[in-house]
């Protein structure tokens, strides 16, 4: 079983929790991959540099100046800090952007009503699964950031959930894959303010009913829609789990 973990803003922004998560991650005995986003650090750094962050519906507009900053932060400071911490925990980690070893190629998001700038979209051919498999078989642990490329010399800011999903799908040709979306809730909740209302497992039929009943709504819907697409594409299991609960049964299992 190959286990893929994706971490995002909440955990990236908290250095104590990030260190605790990485320690837990290092204890996972199965082959593994870590995919990380950038947290709120990009907006902070942009403001410090006098560049106004631009967001539309929670998605970053990435002009050239912004791309320069997020590339340095995601592929540089955050990625290498994670790799260094994993080395401390005796995990031989390999920090990668999509451009490194041509792991992940993207296409520039087309302009419809909004020009997102240097934002990359992925498809089923984007991930070089054989290359990632070669790293894993060499006892390396890939740590992938949210920067991709197009083989034409351009870098792109790319959604980390999308990267984790496409990597999981691509590698399901070689392994049974478990994909873990790690965030700051214990899983999918019937009541967002009550951790004891955890839904421990959901299949697609149950999910459609929970959406219709408006028990699951707003921000969770894109994440869960994506997760069920991943399962339909051949990934064995997808979990939504608190980043500090990855070795417990407290999670939502999608099947």
pLDDT digits (tens, 9 = 90+) for 27-48: 999 999 999 999 888 899 999 9
pLDDT at 57 over 80: no
pLDDT at 218: 76
39 known ligand binder: yes
Structural domain including 167 reads: 2-183
CATH number for the domain harbouring residue 27: 3.40.1160.10
Read off the pTM: 0.96
The answer to whether position 82 is within a domain reads: yes
Closest CA to 229 of 187, 188, 194, 179: 179
pLDDT at 160: 95
The answer to whether position 208 is within a domain reads: no
pLDDT at 39: 82
Burial 135-172 (b: 16+ CB within 10 A, else e): bbeeebbbbbbbbbbbeeeebbbbbbbbbbbbbbbbbb
The answer to whether position 252 is within a domain reads: no
The answer to whether position 127 is within a domain reads: yes
60 known ligand binder: yes
The answer to whether position 39 is within a domain reads: yes
Structurally, the chain folds into a number of domains equal to: 1
219 known ligand binder: no
Local structure of residue 127 (DSSP, 8 states): B
The answer to whether position 34 is within a domain reads: yes
The answer to whether position 125 is within a domain reads: yes
The answer to whether position 230 is within a domain reads: no
Low-confidence winner among 23-27, 55-59, 92-96, 156-160 (lowest mean pLDDT) = 55-59
């Amino acid at each position: 079983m190959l286990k893929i973990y994706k971490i995002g803003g909440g955990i990236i922004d908290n250095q104590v929790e990030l260190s605790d998560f990485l320690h837990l991650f290092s204890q996972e005995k199965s082959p593994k991959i870590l995919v990380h986003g950038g947290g709120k650090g990009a907006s902070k750094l942009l403001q410090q540099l006098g560049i106004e962050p631009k967001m539309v519906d929670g998605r970053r507009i990435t002009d050239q100046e912004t791309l320069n900053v997020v590339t340095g932060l995601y592929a540089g400071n955050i990625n290498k800090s994670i790799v260094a911490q994993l080395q401390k925990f005796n995990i031989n980690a390999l920090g990668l952007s999509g451009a490194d070893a041509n792991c992940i190629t993207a296409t520039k998001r087309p302009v419809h009503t909004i020009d997102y700038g240097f934002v990359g979209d992925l498809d089923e051919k984007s991930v070089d699964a054989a290359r990632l498999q070669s790293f894993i078989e060499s006892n390396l642990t890939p740590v992938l950031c949210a920067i991709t490329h197009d083989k034409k010399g351009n870098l792109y800011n790319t959604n980390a959930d999308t990267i984790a999903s496409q990597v999981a799908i691509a590698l399901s040709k070689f392994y049974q894959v478990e994909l873990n979306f790690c965030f700051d809730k214990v899983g999918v909740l019937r009541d967002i303010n009550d951790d004891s209302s955890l839904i421990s497992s959901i299949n697609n039929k149950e999910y459609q009913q929970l959406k219709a009943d408006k028990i699951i709504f707003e921000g969770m819907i894109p994440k869960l829609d994506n997760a069920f697409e991943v399962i339909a594409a051949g990934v064995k299991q997808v979990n939504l789990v608190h980043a500090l609960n990855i070795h417990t049964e407290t999670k939502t299992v999608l099947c």
